[in-house]
Amino acid sequence: MLAVIYSFKVKQDQEQDFIKYWSRLTQLIYEQCGSLGSRLHKEKEGQYIAYAQWPDKTTFDKADELLNDEANSILNRMRSTLESVEKLHEVEMIADLTKTKGI
């Protein structure tokens, strides 16, 4: 499994829109590209960290070409809420000791 970790700096007064677009885009990537989902964390005001999980690097590398027009439109809207985005890491999972609780 591959994890990709991102850092987002959101424009002032754009956080709710960012979260809305990030959430919708993540759902579409899950549905269209074979991701295993993602989690978003707030570091401090205007700063967010997300990590996305993928079954493997090949699936991650092919994702951009699989996005439909709706997903690309949401991606552009999300980008408009950002001052910056940075991919911090691509890392292979060695061990997983997390537990998943029922929702």
- With vertex at residue 33, the alpha carbon angle to CA 18 and CA 52, rounded to the nearest 5 degrees, is 50
pLDDT of residue 99: 82
Over the stretch 1-23, which tens digit does the pLDDT of each residue have? 999 999 999 999 999 999 999 99
Over the stretch 29-51, which tens digit does the pLDDT of each residue have? 999 999 999 999 999 999 999 99
Tell me, yes or no, if the pTM score tops 0.75: yes
Domains of the chain: 2-92 (3.30.70.100)
Over the stretch 72-94, which tens digit does the pLDDT of each residue have? 999 999 999 999 999 999 999 99
Q: What is the mean pLDDT of the chain?
A: 95
pLDDT of residue 102: 67
The answer to whether residues 54 and 34 touch, using CB atoms and an 8 Å cutoff, is yes
Find where tokens 């993540």 sit. 26
